[in-house]
Amino acid sequence: MTNASHSQVSLLYIVLFLLPAGCGGVCSGFGRNKKTYFGDATFILRGLGFIVVVYADDYNAFKVYPGCAHNRLIHTELREFQRELHAWGRGNQVLFDAGKEHMLIMSTANPEGESIRLLGVDFDGKLCMNEAVGVCVDEASWRLRTLLRTRRFHTDAELLHLFKSHVLSYVEYHTPAIFHAYETVLAPLDRILRNFLRQINVPLIDALLSFNLPPLETRRDIAMLGVLHRAALRQQPRHFWDWAQFDRRDLRRSARSQRNSVRPLLEVPFADRLRIGRHSLFGLIKVYNLLPNCVVEELSVSAFQSALTDLLKDCARRDHRDWPHLFSCRYDMWCHPLRHFP
């Protein structure tokens, strides 16, 4: 039970193995989901080596470990952090809900702990995102079946509008969390739009050209490129700025190696070492650098994404066979579709 004079806070402890040994390390963190400001708790966290990040009403802290760190060592330090924070809570009349405290080690090699839910999305220990995509597919499929029961009352254009409102809005809420997942994991999700278009007899290219509805995999690429462009424009949230550093080196680059000369971004060195890095926002930096200047020089995210959609439509009109993957970071850069599209 929580006394009325106390604030109640829920915590989440995470350890995130994303890098191989010697490539920077492991992130350990915690977050809260209520508007209870910790005040001087930040000094405790920083004293234990944590980096504190506050975004909206979420309070998060992360710590970097070497990639070779043993799980037992990480758990020991997290429990020490937990004791220190609970001691601060007792001194400041803040109680922590034990039912909402979790410890998890996320690792591509040695995960430990059960899946956790952050902002409605389930994260597994290996960040494969099977569970999150499965939940999303089940809910979206149910919404789609409900929508199709009303098809005799609506035109194709009205059905597409309803699909965008009731199905697409739910599916794309998960985009930043599942963007890095394997193609085989994302395939059931991508089939939802294709199945819907087949049910109403609208070809995929007509959905793009006539109804401004690209395939779901293309929409994910455009959405995440928008995040990268927002960081390049130095708009909030600012914690993405560290990963969108401008490449100011005076190098001679051909048009085939890099078309973006307005805001070229510096590639993250460790991104190519793991699949999760190549297929994430870090991998999209290479795609961003391949975009033509007329797209990158847009001064707002909405205008930038509209320019990307126009570029995609132009590619589809020319019957380019890889137009749904025009902005994908899952291609080898030497044969990327953007290199062969004027």
Give me the CATH number covering residue 23.
3.30.1460
In the chain, the number of structural domains is 3
DSSP 8-state secondary structure symbol assigned to residue 298: -
What is the pLDDT of the chain when averaged over all its residues?
80
Cis amide prior to 324 (ω within 30 degrees) = no
Q: Are residues 81 and 151 in the same domain?
A: no
Q: Are residues 305 and 256 in the same domain?
A: yes
N-terminal to C-terminal alpha carbon distance within the chain: 65
The answer to which of 13-17, 255-259, 276-280 has the lowest mean pLDDT is 13-17
Tokens linked to 145: 């079946």
Q: What is the pLDDT of residues 50-92, one digit of tens each?
A: 777 665 555 666 777 777 788 888 888 888 877 877 887 788 7
Looking at 157, 178, 213, which one is the last position of a domain?
A: 213
pLDDT at 55: 59
Q: At residue 208, does pLDDT exceed 90?
A: yes
**Rg for the chain, CA atoms, rounded:** 22
CA geometry: angle at 269 spanning 263 and 271, to 5°? 95
**326: exposed, middle or buried (Cβ count in 10 Å: 0-12, 13-18, 19+):** buried
Decide if 270 contacts 278 (C-beta within 8 A).
Answer: no
Q: At residue 162, does pLDDT exceed 90?
A: yes
Range(s) of the domain holding residue 157: 130-213
Report yes or no on whether pTM surpasses 0.85.
Answer: no
Q: At residue 18, does pLDDT exceed 60?
A: no
Q: Are residues 208 and 223 in the same domain?
A: no
β-strand pairing of 26-32 with 7-9: unpaired
- From the list 298, 289, 276, 293, the residue with the least C-alpha distance to 327 is 289
Percent of the chain at pLDDT > 70 equals 80
Residue 5 lies in a domain: no
Cα 297 to the center of its chain, rounded Å: 24
- From the list 84, 95, 104, 107, the residue with the least C-alpha distance to 29 is 104
- From the list 188, 213, 187, 189, the residue with the least C-alpha distance to 200 is 213
β-strand pairing of 58-65 with 7-9: unpaired
* pLDDT bracket for residue 260 (50, 70, 90): low
